[in-house]
Amino acid sequence: MFVGGNDTTSTVLEWTFVELMKNPIIMKKSQEEVRRVVGGKSKIEENDIDQMLYLKCVIKECLRLHLPTLLMGPRETISSLKLNEYDIPTKTMVYLNAWAIQNDPKLWKSPEEFIPERFENSNIDFKGCPGMIFGTVSAEYVLASFLYWFDWKLPKTYKSSDDIDMSEIFGLVTSKKEPLHQYLSPFNLFLNVLLHKVVLVVSYLRFFCDPIS
**pLDDT number for residue 99:** 87
Residue among 149, 144, 141 at smallest CA distance from 195:
149
pLDDT at residue number 204: 46
**CB-neighbour burial class of residue 70 (10 A; exposed 0-12, middle 13-18, buried 19+):** middle
pLDDT value of residue 213:
42
C-alpha dihedral, 195 to 200 to 205 to 207, nearest 10°: 140
Q: Apex CA 69: angle with CA 31 and CA 24, to 5°? A: 20
| pLDDT the model gives residue 189 | 57
Contact 196, 168 (CB under 8 A): no
What pLDDT is recorded for position 3? 41
pLDDT value of residue 65: 92
Q: Please give the backbone phi and psi of residue 93, each rounded to the nearest 5 degrees, phi first.
A: -80, 125
Q: What is the largest CA-CA distance in the chain?
A: 87
Q: Measuring CA to CA, how many Å separate 7 from each of 4, 61, 170, 182?
A: 5, 18, 13, 21
* This prediction's pTM: 0.77
Digit-coded pLDDT (tens) for 100-128: 988 999 999 999 999 999 999 877 766 55
Residues of the chain below pLDDT 70: 1-7, 125-135, 188-213
pLDDT at residue 11, rounded to an integer: 84
d(CA 63, CA 126) in angstroms, rounded, equals 8
Rounded Cα distance, 55 and 141, in Å:
10
Which domains occur in the chain, in start order? 1-208 (1.10.630.10)
pLDDT given for residue 188 in this prediction:
59
